[in-house]
Amino acid sequence: MEILSGLLQGFQVALTANNLVMCVVGVVLGTIIGVLPGLGPPATIAMLLPLTFKLDPTGAMIMLAGIYYGAKYGGSTTSILLNVPGESSSVVTCIDGYQMALKGRAGPALGMAAIASFIAGTFGVVALMLVAPPLARLSLAFSAPEYFALMVFGLTMVVLLAGDSLTKAFLAMLVGLWIASMGTDLFTATSRFTFDRTELLGGIDFIIVAIGVFAVGEVLGNMEPAKPAEMLPVPKGLKNLMPTWEDMKKCRFAFLNGSVVGFLIGILPGAGSTIASFISYGIEKGVSKHPEEFGKGAIEGVAAPEGSNNAETGGALVPLLTLGIPGSGTTAILLAALVLWGFKPGPLFIQDNPQMFWGLVASMYIGNVLLLILNLPLVAVFAQILRMPGYAMYPLILGVSIVGVYTASSSLFQLGLLAVFGLLGYAMRKLDYPTAPLVLGLVLGDPMEKALRQSLMMSQGDPSILLRPIPSVLLALAALLLVVPLFKRINAIRIQVIERES
Amino acid sequence: MKFFARSGDLWSGLALAALGAYIVSRAWTWVYMGEDGPGAGFFPMWYGGAMVVLSLVLVAGAVLKSPPREKPPSVRWDDVRRALTCWVAFVACIALMPLAGFVISFALLTWFIVAVMARQPQRVALPLAIGGALGFYALFELALDLSLPKGMFF
């Protein structure tokens, strides 16, 4: 009953003219950046975040979330037509989607990707709506030691699955923690790592690092010439995009598999939509009566991964909104957005901000319907974006990055920092350092230090406070996860997963 | 030259070890544990120490790794040069802003990327540069009422 009334309230919020427009803008932008290889949701959300400061936060959150899940719809278009994933989460779709396109079935592959995304995306929103409120109530029992342990566990998961070198992933996370501790220490008013610059007394704005590492770093990386791939044609007319009844029957299990696996993987920090899509593809192939068809254009091989990477969005929002713990680079930026707008994601978030939470949930139902409409009849229009040359796009990204940072800070010093972090992002890509742990370390560094210091204050310096039941289980799990790669066989599986992702 | 001297892991590991040592040395000067609990140096001391240890593990891994049987793919310095050229242009654009403002600086950056780096003809580069810069001005300054960096004249 409580959920139904919440949802009703959510639709009242989401259906206002302003929020509807924001939803449309978000999903259209999301589809566009999903289609474009090389520009992902973290870069786009980071660039646009400062421009949302003057907007109503609910509408802004609806738009940013629209970009997040809209990109996953768009990513499949590039995978199917170009054999290049528009998003990392669409990489599995290349396997069977492109084969279908080569066989002249690009239409049904695109149609199935949109339909599976819609079904699983909607499942993810339903599950988010059902799981988040009770989990938030449960987490009300958490205090500083539990939060510290939870953040350690989350960071460990991200580090474990971020790159094939655990050491590099860890180092990236530690650099994130260092940047997070720059500025004035709120407990003792000590200036830390400010290099005698007054501009650094308030610390380094998360936005600058995120835009620098993701957007500017991405542009610099893309400056290296790449051989252009040839795009297959998009079939004209809605009729040619619709899968047959036989195709739909074949994909019954794939819809369920993608929905459930995607949502559950989404809840885990660090795992993300790419891993979700690989697992659901593996399951689909494993249970199929004709596994030999996979890799040669099996339509279930499109439905399962596309479904799971969309259901993952709902799962990923559960720990973000109820615990304030992001599990990926994109959700870390969404967390930063909520904090910048003055919200405190955590156990009381839903209770204190029902308009925001239920408005977001309802907008996701609407957004999924809009995306189904956009990605069926309008897929040919979005595919034309792939013809846009890089030299026209990169100045645009750099321009929006400058405007974004300047809007947030009105300072040329911060623009200088943007250039520095852009170079850092490029260097990290060249040297194979994963960027997600850096961003998560940066977002969680401050609350993690606060939680640790509060815990030790509560116990007057006695670290055994971290041995309370919940923290001890979480810390033991984190330690276990770090020990796991020492076992060669398990490490080989971990690296296999990461290699597939990259 | 030893094969590991070309390893990015070696040099990035050394740089991070130096950063870790700097963090620990700074944290040493702050209170580690006070009467009220952990001080400003507590957390940096731990992650700085971890950074030193892990970066040395990375360095050791690069040095002790046996030489590859086949010659590893060499760094494509031309690609790196292109990226760094773009970065320098970006920095120059930012540096020019106090003088020329956003619109002119951004138009010059766009022109440089399109005409010089992408080697497109002026009939493509100039409209993109001018149109892009004016488009940004119209969208952000006029339509969205956001302030763009101002120069001495514009």
**Per-residue pLDDT tens digits for A234-255:** 777 767 778 889 888 888 899 9
Q: Count Cβ atoms below 10 Å from residue A239 Cβ, excluding itself.
A: 9
Q: Would you call B44 and A402 a contact, using CB atoms and an 8 Å cutoff?
A: no
Residue A256 near residue A234 (C-beta atoms within 8 A): no
Residue A84 near residue A381 (C-beta atoms within 8 A): no
Chain A residues with CB under 8 Å of B40 CB are: 185, 187-188, 190, 192
Name which of B146, B147, B152 to mutate to probe chain A: the one with the most chain A Cβ atoms within 10 A of its Cβ. B146
Q: Give pLDDT tens digits for B88-100.
A: 999 999 999 999 9
Q: Find the angle CA(A94)-CA(A95)-CA(A97) to the nearest 5 degrees.
A: 60
Q: Give pLDDT tens digits for A86-119.
A: 777 777 888 888 888 888 888 889 889 989 999 9
- Select from B90, B118, B145 the Cβ nearest to the Cβ of A422: B90
Q: Give pLDDT tens digits for A435-488.
A: 888 988 888 888 899 999 999 888 888 888 888 888 999 899 888 888 776 666
Residues 6+ apart with CB under 8 A from A142: A150, A323, A347, A470
Q: What are the distances in angstroms from CA A433 to CA A11, A168, A213, A427, B139?
A: 42, 6, 12, 8, 36
Name which of B24, B87, B102, B119 to mutate to probe chain A: the one with the most chain A Cβ atoms within 10 A of its Cβ. B87
Q: Round to whole Å and give the CA distance between A72 and A436.
A: 18
Confidence at residue B4, expressed as pLDDT on a 0 to 100 scale: 63
Residue A452 near residue A148 (C-beta atoms within 8 A): yes
Q: Round to whole Å and give the CA distance between A172 and A27.
A: 31
State chain A's mean pLDDT as an integer. Answer: 86
Residue A232 tokens, joined = 């297959």
Among residues A167, A170, A169, A174, the alpha carbon closest in space to that of A434 is found at A169
Residue A493 near residue A172 (C-beta atoms within 8 A): no
Is pLDDT of B86 > 90? yes
Among residues A140, A144, A143, A141, the alpha carbon closest in space to that of A451 is found at A144
Q: Count Cβ atoms below 10 Å from residue A224 Cβ, excluding itself.
A: 17
Q: Would you call A188 and B58 a contact, using CB atoms and an 8 Å cutoff?
A: no
Q: Would you call A167 and B61 a contact, using CB atoms and an 8 Å cutoff?
A: yes
State chain B's mean pLDDT as an integer. Answer: 88
Q: Would you call A178 and B9 a contact, using CB atoms and an 8 Å cutoff?
A: no
Confidence at residue A12, expressed as pLDDT on a 0 to 100 scale: 94
Q: Would you call B12 and A460 a contact, using CB atoms and an 8 Å cutoff?
A: no
Q: What is the DSSP letter of A94?
A: I
Residues 177-216 in A contacting B (C-alpha not used; CB under 8 Å): 177-178, 181, 185, 187-188, 190, 192-193, 216
Mean pLDDT of B148-154: 82
Is pLDDT of B133 > 90? yes
Q: Round to whole Å and give the CA distance between A261 and B136.
A: 43
Mean pLDDT of B136-152: 85
Among residues A325, A333, A316, the alpha carbon closest in space to that of A478 is found at A325
Chain B residues with CB under 8 Å of A452 CB are: 38, 42-43
Q: Would you call A415 and B33 a contact, using CB atoms and an 8 Å cutoff?
A: no
- Select from B38, B44, B87 the Cβ nearest to the Cβ of A220: B87
Beta pairing partners, A184: A191
- Select from A167, A192, A423 the Cβ nearest to the Cβ of B87: A423
Q: Would you call B97 and A415 a contact, using CB atoms and an 8 Å cutoff?
A: yes
Q: Round to whole Å and give the CA distance between B151 and B136.
A: 16
Q: What is the DSSP letter of B137?
A: I
Confidence at residue A374, expressed as pLDDT on a 0 to 100 scale: 84
Chain B within 8 Å of A399 (Cβ-Cβ)? yes
Burial pattern A181-197, b for ≥16 Cβ within 10 A else e, equals bbbbbebbeebbbbeee
**Banded pLDDT at A183 (limits 50, 70, 90):** very high
Confidence at residue A327, expressed as pLDDT on a 0 to 100 scale: 76
Q: Would you call A223 and B86 a contact, using CB atoms and an 8 Å cutoff?
A: yes
Q: Would you call A190 and B40 a contact, using CB atoms and an 8 Å cutoff?
A: yes
Q: Round to whole Å and give the CA distance between A428 and A1.
A: 49
**Banded pLDDT at A496 (limits 50, 70, 90):** low
Q: Would you call B140 and A453 a contact, using CB atoms and an 8 Å cutoff?
A: no
Confidence at residue B57, expressed as pLDDT on a 0 to 100 scale: 92
Q: Is A33 exposed, middle or buried (0-12, 13-18, 19+ CB in 10 A)?
A: buried
Confidence at residue A498, expressed as pLDDT on a 0 to 100 scale: 62
Mean pLDDT of A264-292: 81
Q: Give pLDDT tens digits for A323-336.
A: 888 877 788 889 98
Q: Round to whole Å and give the CA distance between A254 and A299.
A: 9
Chain A residues with CB under 8 Å of B31 CB are: 188, 190
Name which of A63, A152, A191, A224 to mutate to probe chain B: the one with the most chain B Cβ atoms within 10 A of its Cβ. A224
Distance of CA A239 to the CA centre of its chain: 33
Q: Give pLDDT tens digits for A360-378.
A: 999 999 999 998 888 888 8
pTM reported for the whole predicted model? 0.82
Residues 6+ apart with CB under 8 A from B143: none
Chain B residues with CB under 8 Å of A412 CB are: 94, 97-98, 149
Q: Is B123 exposed, middle or buried (0-12, 13-18, 19+ CB in 10 A)?
A: exposed
A192: phi then psi, degrees, rounded to nearest 5? -120, 130
Residues 6+ apart with CB under 8 A from A347: A136, A137, A139, A140, A142, A322, A323
Mean pLDDT of A68-74: 86
Q: Would you call A426 and B87 a contact, using CB atoms and an 8 Å cutoff?
A: yes
Complex ipTM more than 0.85, yes or no: yes
Confidence at residue B45, expressed as pLDDT on a 0 to 100 scale: 96
Q: Give pLDDT tens digits for B14-60.
A: 999 999 999 999 999 999 988 878 899 999 999 999 999 999 999 99
Confidence at residue A267, expressed as pLDDT on a 0 to 100 scale: 85
Residues 216-275 in A contacting B (C-alpha not used; CB under 8 Å): 216, 219-221, 223-225
Q: Round to whole Å and give the CA distance between A102 and A228.
A: 18
Question: Cα distance from B149 to chain A (closest Cα, Å)?
Answer: 7
Chain B within 8 Å of A453 (Cβ-Cβ)? yes
Residue A420 tokens, joined = 């520095």
Q: Would you call A403 and B136 a contact, using CB atoms and an 8 Å cutoff?
A: yes
Better pLDDT: A403 or A225: A403
Chain B within 8 Å of A415 (Cβ-Cβ)? yes
Q: Would you call B26 and A167 a contact, using CB atoms and an 8 Å cutoff?
A: no
Give me Rg for the CA atoms of chain A. 22
Q: Round to whole Å and give the CA distance between A419 and A106.
A: 41
What HEC string does A206-219 produce? HHHHHHHHHHHHHH
Confidence at residue A157, expressed as pLDDT on a 0 to 100 scale: 79
Confidence at residue A81, expressed as pLDDT on a 0 to 100 scale: 84
Confidence at residue A444, expressed as pLDDT on a 0 to 100 scale: 86
Q: Would you call B91 and A419 a contact, using CB atoms and an 8 Å cutoff?
A: yes
Question: Cα distance from A299 to chain B (closest Cα, Å)?
Answer: 37
